[in-house]
A = this chain, B = another copy of it.
Amino acid sequence: MKKGKISDVFGKPLNVVNVGLESMAEAVKDQDVPTFQVDWQPPMEGVKHLRITKSGINIDEANEEVVKRIKQARPTLVGMGVAKDVIPGMHDRMILHAGPPITWERMCGPMKGAVMGALVYEGIAENEEAAEKIAASGGVEFSPCHHHNAVGPMAGIFSPSMPVFIIENTTFGNKAYCTQNEGLGKVLRYGGMGPEIYKRLKWMEAVLYPTLQRAIDSMPDGIDVKALIAQALHMGDEGHNRNRAGTSLFLRAIGPALARTNKDNEVLAKVIEFIDKNDHFFLNLTMPAGKAALEPAEGVEGSSILTVMARNGTDFGIRLSSMPDRWFVAPAGEVKGLYFPGFTAEDANLDIGDSTVTETAGYGGFAMAAAPAITQFVGGTPDMAVAATLEMYEINFSEHEGFTIPVLNYRGTPLGIDVRKVMETGILPKLNTGISHKDPGIGGIGAGILRAPEKCFKDAFDAFQEKYF
């Protein structure tokens, strides 16, 4: 057997995360290697393990049903359409937003910015000042994306004319919707406003959308988004803040259809360039894929599993499968992250967006072990990425055999956040996320990591106990 210092083996200074066996950490510490523990708290006090409800429902069996439905899902990109035409309940004066319900007054800066920008883009307001007055005076109706089978990244703003992807869960026949991804930086979904943003959105409506729509419509089976996510997890993505592989695979999948339905070489070139320059493009497919997978799992009596987890930049909200119409909310958290040049934590808005649908559906931050290179974007170290996934197994009810992590010997991703387990272990869901500037009109300023707030889990657990015990 070869002997040596562990740092010699890796050839560089190490930071060791200890996730289990204490003697291993001691052996490493003996070599002056810095070690840090998985961030873990003792179980919350007074939590008892709930098994059978007063009406006799076996909670584990209910949860099995929930994860079975999620695993059976087959989210498929079947078409595109304009929001007001295809999204249930959407109308000419409705704006959808991320997270739990919220009034204009309580909206954070970037959400207000995105709303104002959307009203100018729509032509409902002549400029941002007019838009603010319309928004503040009840001139438009606000509604959460999640109330309309939709999810939106960051501010999550859908306005009536925006083109959307239509994802069908072909196993159950339900549909989910998401906008097209604009890119990073000064973009509407991060709260950006201004002519260059409206121009880009108009191009996405007039050029990108019809080009993609023609291609998708020409594909008899659509595009199997679940299969692309599964492959992307073997290619360094986690499906939330790293989508370079997914974006690449999407371009491969749609490429021949784009060519066959091509009407103008230069348009096609620009469309491919737009997607190629935006490694987050695929996020707006992983998110509705998650939503499409989760909705059939709603409404299972006795289940303690989350089917919704979303933030509006002011509040963080969750919903349980067994109480699908009830939001449990808490103040949104502060993100620890990496900032683009010129910005600091001082500029950051609180946690925002529906993109936590990815973690809820068993990938995203929970699959960070599959995506060590994500730490270049959201901060932390590759070791931390592996530790994050390992920790999330503790609070998830199951593992998703359809989404495997090679470096963990093809173990399935953590699936099914169990509010019982969160309360028993004291481990809160660990998320990665983009960061918006807190003021309207500026846009994205970085990305980072945080945990979901405890309060909404505690409230959901209390309500669960009240309903079933």
**Residues of A in contact with B (beta carbons under 8 Å apart):** 1-6, 8-12, 14, 18-25, 27-28, 31, 37-38, 40, 231, 234-237, 244-245, 248-249, 251-253, 255-257, 259-262, 265-266, 268-270, 272-273, 276, 372-373, 375, 381-383, 386, 390, 393, 399, 406-411
Give the distance to chain B from A107, nearest Cβ to Cβ, in Å.
37
A72–B335 Cα gap in the complex (Å)? 39
Q: Please state the number of chain copies in the assembly.
A: 2
A23–B25 Cα gap in the complex (Å)? 11
Give the distance to chain B from A212, nearest Cβ to Cβ, in Å.
14
**What residues of chain B lie closer than 8 Å to A270, measured between beta carbons?**
256
Interface hub of A38, A234, A249, A266 (most chain B Cβ within 10 A):
A234
**What residues of chain B lie closer than 8 Å to A5, measured between beta carbons?**
20-21
B390 touches A10 (CB 8 A): yes
Give the distance to chain B from A449, nearest Cβ to Cβ, in Å.
16
A234 touches B11 (CB 8 A): no
A262 touches B260 (CB 8 A): no
Contact partner, A252, options B21, B231, B248, B269, Cβ 8 Å: B248
Contact partner, A6, options B21, B253, B411, Cβ 8 Å: B21
**What are 9 A-B contacts with C-beta separation under 8 Å?**
A3-B21, A4-B21, A24-B24, A235-B235, A236-B406, A252-B272, A256-B272, A259-B259, A259-B262
**What residues of chain B lie closer than 8 Å to A25, measured between beta carbons?**
1
B12 touches A411 (CB 8 A): yes
A27–B261 Cα gap in the complex (Å)? 61
A5–B24 Cα gap in the complex (Å)? 11
B393 touches A409 (CB 8 A): no
Contact partner, A248, options B28, B248, B390, Cβ 8 Å: B248
Give the distance to chain B from A403, nearest Cβ to Cβ, in Å.
13
A22 touches B3 (CB 8 A): yes
- With A1-B25, A236-B236, A406-B373 known as contacts, the answer to whether A260 contacts B266 (CB < 8 A) is yes
**What residues of chain B lie closer than 8 Å to A22, measured between beta carbons?**
1, 3
A40 touches B259 (CB 8 A): no
A276 touches B248 (CB 8 A): no
Contact partner, A10, options B24, B256, B406, B411, Cβ 8 Å: B411
A393 touches B235 (CB 8 A): no
B390 touches A409 (CB 8 A): no
A249 touches B252 (CB 8 A): no
Can you add 8 more A-B contacts, CB < 8 Å, to A24-B27, A255-B269, A255-B276?
A: A24-B24, A235-B237, A235-B245, A248-B252, A259-B265, A373-B406, A382-B409, A386-B407
Contact partner, A390, options B9, B18, B231, B390, Cβ 8 Å: B9
A19–B261 Cα gap in the complex (Å)? 54
A372 touches B406 (CB 8 A): yes
Interface hub of A244, A373, A381 (most chain B Cβ within 10 A):
A373
A37–B2 Cα gap in the complex (Å)? 9
**What residues of chain B lie closer than 8 Å to A410, measured between beta carbons?**
382
Residue of B nearest to A3 (CB): B22
A272 touches B259 (CB 8 A): yes
**What residues of chain B lie closer than 8 Å to A231, measured between beta carbons?**
244
Residue of B nearest to A8 (CB): B20
**What residues of chain B lie closer than 8 Å to A248, measured between beta carbons?**
235, 245, 248-249, 251-252
A390–B408 Cα gap in the complex (Å)? 17
B262 touches A268 (CB 8 A): yes
